[in-house]
Structure 1
Amino acid sequence: MPASFSWLIHSPLHATYGSLHPYTSRLTVMRRYFNGEKRTGFMTKAPDTKVLDAKAAHVKEYLGTPTDLKADAVKEVAIGLADTLADVFALYVKTKNFHWHMSGRHFRDYHLLLDEQSDQIFAMTDPLAERARKIGGTTLHSIGEISRRTQILDNDALYVTPEDMLAELRDDNLSLTKRLRKVHAICDDANDVATASLIENWIDETERRTWFLFEATRPAFGKNA
């Protein structure tokens, strides 16, 4: 180590920046010092709001598409669209999962049904993301963000019965419909008629998928047996 840094290890700064563990390395102490980290136990300094505001302004400079909608409205609509997009991606993967792992006497019908539904679900992804960008908002950036935002639960089971597959997808499509209605209400408040119009079509499609899944999971009775 250069002699000019030796004072740091023997100074009170070592107690501050190297106090987390008795074997904290000298390089760690110096890194914390020169990075300006301030630690108390295991707590780190809270983010500087000025820095966060500056980053937001920087993003808006490059990604802030001009719009006549109010800034707060753009933010709320974009959040709603991103949450919906996360649900759509999660539902798409689950629908394909069940499509791939379908089995049983109704294999062909159910296999093809879920293939058709997954294509319809995936077709929502690009319009959802691009609608947020058209009004100056941002959208999803990663799989991790999808995981944090979605309300659709994973199903990693090695085997799921056909009946349980269809029932689970039926309920997931119902959840997506509720999400879409919530975002539609946000769009109405923001006077964002274009996004609201798209959502109305997606609600109709989602309700149709729910209908088909419901009928496929109904118990046989009477002449329907």
Structure 2
Amino acid sequence: MKFPSHINLPREAREELVELLNTCLATAIDLHWQVKQAHWNIRGRDFISRHELFDTVADHVRKHADDFAERAGNLGGYAQGTIRLAAKNSELEEYDLSAVNGDDHVRVLVDRVANYASVVRAGIQRCDEADDPVTTDLLTRILGEVEQDLWFLESHLYGSDATARDESSPPIIHEERTPGPSA
């Protein structure tokens, strides 16, 4: 631990939580810039609504990054939030630069936001195991916002030829990801 903290959690639990929060921080920073990549390069049908939606999602994720970093600091940790560290420690794949039209960008973002939600959801379980209701609450609040953003993004694909699914197809389930190394 880099800094003193009198939060009533064992040092080992705080260290594990800081590691988790830094993984979430890296993933949020990466997602923010991936969403901005789509925002800057969106073209085609529904341009303005998607352009504005992407900006809203990017703003949400930027705020999440700040929340992750500040909670890591609360626990006595050091927030690792540079662009280079984010690229190295993110749980996301690189943005698909072949995405050109609006549906392509939305599909890429649906995938990335769903993966981000999985990282946050797995983090909630780890916080519960560490008996840290404050970080659990933080991640739960963030997950609610992420899932709403995911719904807004997915709704842009509903009825589109780009979905390649009909209503009788089973839902796409993203594998739950555990952020960072587990204890």
TM-score interval for Structure 1 and Structure 2 normalised by the shorter chain: 0.7 to 0.9
Matched, 1:208 2:159: no
- Of the three residues 51, 69, 77, the one matched with 2:9 is 69
Q: CA deviation at 1:157?
A: 2.3
> 1:209 Cα shift?
1.0
Alpha-carbon separation, structure 1, partners of 2:84 and 2:48: 34
Q: Deviations over 1:9-64 (max 9, x none)?
A: xxxxxxxxxxxxxxxxxxxxxxxxxxxxxxxxxxxxxxxxxxxxxxxxxx64xx12
| Helix, strand or coil at the partner of 2:156 | helix
Correspondence for 2:124: 184
Q: Which amino acid aligns with 2:94?
A: D
Q: 1:144 maps to what in 2?
A: 84
Q: Which amino acid letter does the alignment assign opposite residue 185 of structure 1?
A: Q
Residues 1-225 of structure 1 correspond to what in structure 2 (within 5 A)? 60=2, 63-155=3-95, 157=97, 160-220=100-160
Runs (4+) of structure 1 exceeding 3 A deviation are none
The separation in 2 between residues aligned to 1:75 and 1:99, in whole angstroms, is: 36
What secondary structure is seen at the aligned counterpart in 2 of 1:217?
coil
Structure 2 residue runs without a partner (length 5+) = 162-183
Give how far 1:67 is off.
Answer: 2.0
- Which residue identity does 2:28 align to in structure 1? V
Structure with the larger helix share: 1
Q: For 1:180 and 1:157, how far apart are their aligned partners in 2?
A: 25
Q: TM-score, normalised by structure 1?
A: 0.67
Cα distance in 1 between the residues matched to 2:29 and 2:113: 12
What is the CA distance between 1:105 and its match in structure 2? 2.2
Pick the structure with greater CA Rg.
1
CA positional deviation for 1:66: 2.1
User: How far, CA to CA, are the matches of 2:4 and 2:150 in structure 1?
Assistant: 37
- Counterparts of 1:175 and 1:156 in 2: how far apart (Å)? 15
Equivalences, count? 161
Amino acid at match of 2:16: E
- 1:184/1:95 CA distance change after superposition, 3 Å: same
- Whether the 8 Å CA contact 1:170–1:209 is kept in 2: the answer is no
Q: Structure 1 CA distance, aligned partners of 2:51 and 2:144? A: 22
Q: Which amino acid aligns with 1:198?
A: L
CA shift in 2, pair 1:199/1:118, >3 Å: same
CA distance in 2, matches of 1:66, 1:156: 44
C-alpha distance after superposition, 1:116-169 (max 9, x if no partner) = 111111111211101011011222153221111102222262752211110111
Distance 1:209 1:159 in 2: 20
Q: Report if aligned partners of 2:69, 2:81 keep a CA contact under 8 Å in 1.
A: no
